[in-house]
């Protein structure tokens, strides 16, 4: 970690990357495995890694997702090659003896629902953001979104578990001709400070 990435890499990850509403192409299962294998290295609290990802790819899985989608997200999600359900496991702490073996981190969470919920949600959200950057690094375009019924997704994909959906990410190859003009971002002085 001794040198900054070149500008073209920073452009691909941040400056030129866009949220796409029209995604096509194909994504192999091997690419999805590569995507996860990059994502898993992002840091989380006590290496808890609470995110769980469902890569909704088959026509049957897309139909299972369909009833949960809002009207504004339906067509683009059904057309995307893959939709990722970014979720978090509220029993993530059961894996801490393996993931964080140098301390009894499981005891920090067992029986403490408030700590479980906030830690799983926060770190699962981080892992979803890592997945977006990992996808961009592999040459994929993304379209992250809310706009769905979490309870319906949880019932369809996670019934009988302690896994809860957070947000969705459509993956594919974007149609750059169908992008909206780039929206502005806040300048440093409106969003940050140095103290």
Domain ranges of the chain: 26-175
pLDDT of res. 143:
97
pLDDT of res. 16:
95
Question: Percent of the chain at pLDDT above 90?
Answer: 98
The tens digit of pLDDT for each residue in 7-31 reads 999 999 999 999 999 999 999 999 9
pLDDT of res. 38:
98
Q: In whole angstroms, what is the distance from residue 142 CA to residue 158 CA?
A: 23
| CB neighbours of residue 87 within 10 Å | 27
User: 26-175 maps to which CATH number?
Assistant: 3.40.109.10
Q: In whole angstroms, what is the distance from residue 165 CA to residue 143 CA?
A: 16
Question: Percent of the chain at pLDDT above 70?
Answer: 99
pLDDT of res. 2:
84
The tens digit of pLDDT for each residue in 61-114 reads 999 999 999 999 999 999 999 999 999 999 999 999 999 999 999 999 999 999
Task: Determine the 3-state secondary structure of 184 from DSSP.
Answer: coil
Query: Does pLDDT of 49 surpass 70?
Result: yes
The model's confidence at residue 185, banded by pLDDT at 50, 70 and 90, is very high
Closest CA to 45 of 126, 107, 104: 126
The model's confidence at residue 1, banded by pLDDT at 50, 70 and 90, is low
């Amino acid at each position: 970690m001794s040198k900054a990435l070149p500008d073209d890499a920073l452009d691909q990850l941040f400056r030129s990357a866009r949220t796409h509403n029209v995604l096509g192409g194909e994504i192999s299962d091997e690419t999805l495995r590569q995507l996860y294998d990059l994502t898993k290295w992002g840091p989380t609290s006590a290496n808890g890694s609470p995110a769980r990802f469902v890569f909704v790819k088959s026509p049957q899985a897309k139909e299972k997702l369909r009833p949960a989608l809002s009207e504004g997200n339906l067509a683009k999600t059904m057309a995307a090659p893959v939709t990722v359900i970014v979720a978090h496991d509220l029993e993530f702490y059961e894996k801490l003896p393996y993931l964080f073996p140098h301390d009894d981190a499981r005891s920090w969470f067992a029986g403490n629902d408030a700590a479980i919920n906030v830690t799983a949600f926060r770190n699962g959200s981080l892992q979803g953001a890592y997945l977006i950057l990992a996808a961009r690094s592999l040459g994929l375009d993304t379209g992250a979104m809310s706009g769905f019924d979490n309870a319906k997704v949880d019932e369809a994909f996670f019934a009988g578990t302690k896994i809860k959906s957070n947000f969705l990410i459509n993956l594919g190859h974007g149609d750059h001709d169908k992008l909206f003009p780039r929206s502005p971002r806040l300048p440093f002085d409106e969003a940050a400070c140095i103290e």
